[in-house]
Amino acid sequence: TPAPQLPGTADLRARAAAALGRCGVDLDAYPAPADGAVPARTPLTGGVLARLAATTPAQADAAIAEAHRTFQDWRTVPAPRRGALVKRLGELLAAHREDLADLVTIEAGKIRSEALGEVQEMIDICDFAVGLSRQLYGRTIAGERPGHRLSESWHPLGVVGVVSAFNFPVAVWSWNTAVALVCGDTVVWKPSELTPLTALACDGLLARAAAEVAAPAGVHRLLLGARECGRQLVDDPRVALVSATGSVAMGRQVAPRVAARFGRCLLELGGNNAAVVTPSADLDLTVRGIVFSAAGTAGQRCTTLRRLIVHEDIADRLLERVVHAYGQLPLGDPFDPATLVGPLVSPAAHTAMSEALAAAQRAGGKLLTGGERCLADAAPDAAYVRPAVVRMPEQTDIVRTETFAPILYALTYRTLDEAVALNNDVPQGLSSSIFTGDLREAERFLAADGSDCGITNVNIGTSGAEIGGAFGGEKETGGGRESGSDAWRAYMRRATNTVNYSADLPLAQGVNFL
Ligand code: UN1
C-alpha cells in the first residue's frame, strides 16, 4: 500500500488560523516574542504553528483580580439568567462545531469523529448546565424545635481556577466552565501549554456569548503559559476552587498548596483502567469495546483501557481476536475519515511508551502486537505509533503505572474474586468495566466489595462516558467529580439556615440558658 499522505505544517497553520478567525480570534494579532513564548505545535507533523506570548505574572494577577471583582456582581444575577449565557455559549459551540473539531485535531491529534465527539460533549454539558440553572435545589430539613424552619441554601462559591490537559483540551474546560457559570462563579482557565489555540477559540466564543447576552466579560479569563502560571492560580487566595485535570504528579503538587490556604480542590488525575472479561461474555461486543477503549484516542484518554483481566479459559481466543483487530486499525492522518489511530501528542510520549514496553518485556511480558513507529520518514518530528498489546505473567510495577500511550496489558484470572482484586490492586481508581452475560458476576463487580473505581461499567469499555453522570475517580485519581449528576455542588457553598418564626427561644438539644 502507498504511504498515506500527511498534511504539511503550513497547511495546518492556515486551517487553524481560519478556524480561529471564524471563532473571533485573529492569530496574527497575537505577538510572537522570542522569549516567554508558548509555542503552539501540531502533533500531526511536530511543527510549530504559532508562538504566543505567555501571560506574565502581572497579567495573571490582573486576570484573577478581574474574575474576583466580577464575581461580586455575577453571584447576585439570578441563576436562570446566568443560564442564558451558557445557553448562548452552547449555540455558538454548535455553530462552530467544525472549527473547534479542526482545532482539536490539529492540536491534540484526534481523529475527526473523536474531535467532533469532544465538541459534542461541550454542547451537551451546556444543555445540562442550562437545565441545572433552574434546579440548584437545597433541602428543607425536619427540625427538632417548634416554630423553627431548618433548610439549606446553595450559594455561588467564587473564582474557579480551571487547569486542563492536552488530551481533552476543550471538553474538560466546558464541564467546569458551563457548570461554574450557572452556579454563579467566575472562571480563570489555564489550559495545557500544548493546546493554546483551542483555548483561544473557546475564550473567543465565550466572550462573544457574554457580549451578546450583556454578561460581564470578566466571568472568564484565560492564562497562557506553563507551570508558573498554574502555580499562581493554585496559590492565589482569591481562587476559591482549583479544578485540575492532569497527572498524579501534578495533583501531588497542587493539592497540598491549595490545602495550605484552605482552598478547595477538585482533582481528576491519572487512571489505570481495567476490563474484566468472563467466560460468558459476548466476544464480538467485547472485542469492539476493548479496541475502542484501548486504542481509541491513541491511548491518550484518562479513561483509556490499560489492563485486560481475562479468564484463563478464554484468554487465548480473546487475545487472538484483539490482536487481529489491532492489525486492521488504520493509522495516520487524523483528518482522513478512514483513520482510527492518529499520532501521539509528542515524540516524548513515544519514548515513554517504548520504555514501558521494554520494562514489561524485562518483567516477563510477551509483546503480542504493536509498539512500532510509523510514518517516520513523512513526519520525523511526529510520533505515529502502532497500539500495543502485551501479555503479562502478573501485575508487575509497570502494569500498575499509567503510561499515557496505547499499551494494553493482558492478565489472566481464575476466580472472579481474583479478578476484582487485580482490578483494584493499582494506585489509581478512575474507570473499570466487566464484560459478562452473567447477572451475578455483573452485580458482584458493581457491589460495595467490587470495583473500587469512580466509574464502573458492564458490557461497555472504560472510556467514553456520557456527560450526564458524575465523572471522576478514587485513590490517586484524586476523588473529584465533574460534569453531570450533582457534581455542581463542588462549585457552590452550602449555608444551613435555621429560622425561628415563634415568639420563644427554645435551644436545641433541650439546653436551658437565660
Ligand atoms: C479525559 O480523558 O480526561 O469518558 C476525559 C471519556 C470522556 C472524557 C475523558 N468522556 O472517555
Average pLDDT over residues 470-497: 98
Q: Which of 208, 235, 184, 198 is nearest to 67 (CA)?
A: 184
For residue 187, pLDDT over 70 is answered with yes
Average pLDDT over residues 334-340: 97
168 lines ligand 1 (CB under 6 A): yes
DSSP 442-470: HHHHHSTTS--SSEEEESS-SS---TTSE
| Whole-number average pLDDT of the chain | 96
The whole-number pLDDT of residue 488 equals: 98
For residue 473, pLDDT over 60 is answered with yes
The number of residues in the chain equals: 514
Which ligand 1 atom is the nearest neighbour of the CA of 465? 4
CA distance 338 to 382: 20
Q: Cα separations (Å) of 53 from 23, 30, 50, 158, 162? A: 19, 7, 10, 28, 20
The whole-number pLDDT of residue 493 equals: 98
245 lines ligand 1 (CB under 6 A): yes
Instruction: Report how far ligand 1's centroid is from the alpha carbon of 385 (Å).
Output: 21
CA distance 424 to 484: 25
Average pLDDT over residues 452-461: 98
ipTM beyond cut 0.90: yes
Phi-psi sector, 431: left (phi>0), alpha (psi -120 to 50), beta: beta
Largest CA distance in the chain: 92
For residue 459, pLDDT over 90 is answered with yes
pLDDT tens, residue by residue, 46-69 = 999 999 999 999 999 999 999 999
Q: How many other C-beta atoms can be found within 10 angstroms of the C-beta atom of residue 364?
A: 11
The whole-number pLDDT of residue 494 equals: 98
Which ligand 1 atom is the nearest neighbour of the CA of 467? 10
464 lines ligand 1 (CB under 6 A): yes
The whole-number pLDDT of residue 34 equals: 67
Contact residues for 82 (Cβ-Cβ < 8 A; gap 6+):
74, 133, 181, 182, 183, 184, 215
Query: What is the radius of gyration, based on Cα positions, of the chain?
Result: 24
The whole-number pLDDT of residue 4 equals: 59
For residue 2, pLDDT over 70 is answered with no
For residue 403, pLDDT over 70 is answered with yes
In three-state secondary structure terms, 299 is helix
Average pLDDT over residues 466-491: 98
For residue 514, pLDDT over 90 is answered with no
pLDDT tens, residue by residue, 129-170 = 999 999 999 999 999 999 999 999 999 999 999 999 999 999
Element (H, E) at 251: helix 248-260
Amino acid sitting at position 414: R
Instruction: Report how far ligand 1's centroid is from the alpha carbon of 406 (Å).
Output: 15
CA distance 191 to 165: 6
473 lines ligand 1 (CB under 6 A): no
CA distance 328 to 172: 31
**Residue 223 in grid coordinates:** 492564562
Q: At what angle do helices 196-212 and 97-108 cross, to 10 degrees?
A: 160
Phi-psi sector, 475: left (phi>0), alpha (psi -120 to 50), beta: left
Instruction: Report how far ligand 1's centroid is from the alpha carbon of 126 (Å).
Output: 17
